[in-house]
Amino acid sequence: MSYDIFLTNNLNNKKEKFIPIDEKNIRMYVCGPTVYDDPHIGNARPIVVFDVLYKIFKKKYSKVTYVRNITDVDDKIINFSKENNISISELTNTVIKSFEMDCEYLNCDNPTYQPKATEHIDLMVEMISDLIQKGFAYEINKHVYFEVNKFKDYGKLSNKNLKELIAGSRVEISDNKKNSEDFVLWKPSENDEPSWESPWGKGRPGWHLECSAMSKKFLGNEFDIHGGGIDLLFPHHENEIAQSRCANDTKVFANYWLHNAFITMSNEKMAKSQGNILKIKNFRNMISGQVMRLALMSAHYKQPLDWNDKLLSDCQNTINKWYNVYLSDHQAVEIDEEILKPLYDDLNTPGYIANLHKLYEKAHKGNSSDKILFNSACNFIGLLNETENQWLKFKKNKILITEAEILNKIKLRDKAREDKNYEEADKIRDHLLDKGVLIEDKDGKTTWKFK
């Protein structure tokens, strides 16, 4: 029996049967990284979630075009390069390389296209010109803004009216705007900032515009799926819809909008302001990528995922157990639709993992064909992709802790040393070492790094 794919579409907050525009080419666009700093675990969730969806589509359809952009021009990039005295090109190239290593570490398939914003400025200038000509955008003091109240469907994705949206979010304040809700399409650059020639002077595009221009190039005016983190729903995706539909004269931009929920730590959203950021690169030599991948799939993508040592430890134990029936050389077999059914039902990865546990029990007691099926079912979602020797390298490694926890432990150690409680101070040092953190006391200061 063959099952249809159902997805929760944020355009109406309902689970809907997936009906492609063209069965011969499924088209999907996912917002990728802004490359100003190394990606963290929160960034890893959409990478893995939409990789699973990509795999499902490739299973069902003969061709899938998957586009994931790279934002390599942005205020965050400019500010980070200035603060750290590093050129923008060196910064973006370094972070792009780190991002690609993260994707490989998490065993994600490469998208069909991974375009950079800076390579498509001409298309953005063209789209802005169209929007001005059609009366949806205006130029003022070398800035160009999209006039939100000219688009009657604004807020449909967020399911809120304009007043509610503006009241509930931070809106860029500018004396140049006609209305506070209007958003920038083009702005002038300072002398030391990246800039391109345009009819409105030297400058650079607004962040929202790049996805509209690049999705149009690679996927056309209308396509099937647009994805990203829930934080992008407003204003980024709302603005994409507005400018794309107005520029392209269409009633649709993307048919299905999917957003993954946040990763939390102690139920707090992962954010730099919370001091709870964990960079993916710091895990690469500590924990197998497939443990990280299993952890990221352990909760439904629409639910928050709380990141903690127990989660990673449980996933490590699961993978370790599954290697009892690992086959190093096997011909992949067709996976029964009944096994895949949870994935077709709105990417229910926990349901599919439950099926893997059942297949493992059968394989552990059964014959080679049971083992082949289990291995194939794991491989389908990017697991058991390492040899036993590669897995053993990570098997006994400890789990990383957050930067905030490290700093707190160092503070407690400083207090213990101040109180001449050297036994407690040594205990804290050893605890950090056990977690893969080396500390060094020098010139009255304590520094730390991952070993």
Rounded CA separation 311/298 (Å)? 9
Q: What is the pLDDT of residue 380?
A: 98
Residue 168 has pLDDT above 60, yes or no: no
Secondary element (H or E) of residue 315: helix 309-322
Q: What percent of the chain has pLDDT over 70?
A: 94
Q: What is the pLDDT of residue 100?
A: 98
Q: What is the pLDDT of residue 252?
A: 97
- Residue 384 — left, alpha, or beta (φ > 0 → left; ψ -120 to 50 → alpha)? left
The full length of the chain comes to: 451
Q: What is the pLDDT of residue 397?
A: 59
Burial degree of 325 (CB within 10 A; 0-12, 13-18, 19+): buried
Q: What is the distance between the terminal CA atoms of the chain, rounded to a whole angstrom?
A: 51
Average pLDDT of the chain, as a whole number: 92
3-state helix/strand/coil string of 147-212: CHHHCCCCCCCCCCCHHHHHHCCCCCCCCCCCCCCCEEEEEECCCCCCCECCCCCCEEECHHHHHH
Average pLDDT over residues 235-262: 97
Residue 152 has pLDDT above 60, yes or no: yes
Amino acid at the residue 142: K
Burial degree of 99 (CB within 10 A; 0-12, 13-18, 19+): buried
Model-wide pTM > 0.95:
no
Q: What is the pLDDT of residue 430?
A: 86
Amino acid at the residue 221: N
Rounded CA separation 439/429 (Å)? 7
Residue 220 has pLDDT above 70, yes or no: yes
Q: What is the pLDDT of residue 442?
A: 83
Rounded CA separation 202/383 (Å)? 48
Q: Angle formed by the axes of helices 238-248 and 207-219, to 10°? A: 50
Q: Residue 68: beta bridge partners? A: 30
CB of 40 within 8 A of CB of 95? no
Average pLDDT over residues 4-10: 98
Residue 236 has pLDDT above 70, yes or no: yes
Residue 449 pLDDT grade (very low, low, confident, very high; cuts 50, 70, 90): confident
Average pLDDT over residues 183-203: 95
Residue 365 has pLDDT above 90, yes or no: yes
Q: Quote the Cα angle for 246-249-254, to 5°.
A: 80
CB of 127 within 8 A of CB of 134? no
Considering only 12-16, 351-355, 361-365, 403-407, which range has the smallest mean pLDDT?
403-407
Q: What is the pLDDT of residue 267?
A: 75
Query: Where is pLDDT greater, at 34 or 450?
Result: 34
Residue 173 has pLDDT above 70, yes or no: no
Residue that is written with structure tokens 């030391």 in the block: 192
Query: Where is pLDDT greater, at 233 or 444?
Result: 233
CB of 446 within 8 A of CB of 415? no
